Structure 1
């Protein structure tokens, strides 16, 4: 199996998991915030969907600079997030399918202006900066859902709500 085959499988699975979460949400909870220091549910869901887009937007560059390359989401509804997620899945698949294994071993930097936040191979960026990051935030979102008494879909097996 090539590196891109593994990435394509992971992208497909994780996008499906995010869609399952979004399918459980409604716009009525968009502004829910469990704590004053927390993001709203809408902001958190937007950030998760945004991270999915980083496969084709950020990894395609040798350096991704928050000051010049980052465009925050402007979505205001769950429906918009679902459409963005679906669109990004195809863009990600097309992007990954066009890359060689050697591409994933080349260097990538995440920075804010001249401050380097991360410097690692693109494969590491995909796993650490994108996938692990979105899984972390998706876990936070499931806590919001539990606090709102929204049944949780199983992501890596059945949830307590599906048994």
Structure 2
């Protein structure tokens, strides 16, 4: 198996989990925050929906300097659940296609992530993809699950059963 094929196995599961969580986001709670330091629900939902673009940038770009980004900032404005899901589907399709086309050599090359002169990471692109995209998306999708619970909305079973749903292991 190639590096891309291995990453795509996880990619499909994580996108499915994020989609299933976004499908439950209420359309009337955009400003809900579980703590003053927390991100509002609508913004968090859109962050989850657009995160696959970060995965795409990791595969496509030579690196990223957060102090001088070359990519446009995507507004994280939640309007409807359907719009969030469409954003996720579009971003995921773009990321998946890019990852599927990537060679082992490309995914093994270092990917520099910095904030100006401060180096954040400079490890192989495949590790960056796992750490900065997958882990980031899993973290925020789980955070969104907490927001659902606090609003008495059933939480999907993602990695095992939730209090609301039985779990069905992925078949892929």
Question: What TM-score, normalized to structure 1?
Answer: 0.92
| CA distance in structure 1 between the partners assigned to 2:147 and 2:63 by the alignment | 33
| CA distance in structure 2 between the partners assigned to 1:52 and 1:108 by the alignment | 17
| CA distance in structure 1 between the partners assigned to 2:77 and 2:44 by the alignment | 11
Matched, 1:16 2:16: yes
| Structure 2 counterpart of 1:53 | 53
**Structure 2: gaps (5+ residues):** 167-172
| Structure 2 counterpart of 1:68 | 69
| CA distance in structure 2 between the partners assigned to 1:154 and 1:88 by the alignment | 23
Residue-pair matches, total: 163
Q: Sort the Cα spacing of 1:69 and 1:50 in 2 relative to 1 into closer, same or farther, 3 A.
A: farther
More helix by share: 1
Aligned to 1:29, the other structure's residue is in SS state: coil
CA contact (8 A) 2:25 2:45 kept: no
Once the two structures are overlaid, the 10-residue window that deviates more, 56-65 or 118-127, is 56-65
| CA distance in structure 1 between the partners assigned to 2:110 and 2:83 by the alignment | 33
Matched, 1:129 2:132: yes
Aligned to 1:150, the other structure's residue is in SS state: coil
Once the two structures are overlaid, the 10-residue window that deviates more, 76-85 or 66-75, is 66-75
Paired residue for 1:161, among 152, 159, 164?
Answer: 164
1:66-125 residue CA offsets vs partner (Å, 9 max, x unmatched): 232351334322322211110112111210121111111100011122322111110111
1:132-163 residue CA offsets vs partner (Å, 9 max, x unmatched): 11111111111111111110011123322014
| CA distance in structure 1 between the partners assigned to 2:84 and 2:74 by the alignment | 13
Question: What TM-score, normalized to structure 2?
Answer: 0.87
CA contact (8 A) 2:50 2:91 kept: no
Matched, 1:79 2:106: no
| Structure 1 counterpart of 2:169 | none
| CA distance in structure 2 between the partners assigned to 1:65 and 1:45 by the alignment | 25
Aligned-residue Cα RMSD (Å) equals 1.5
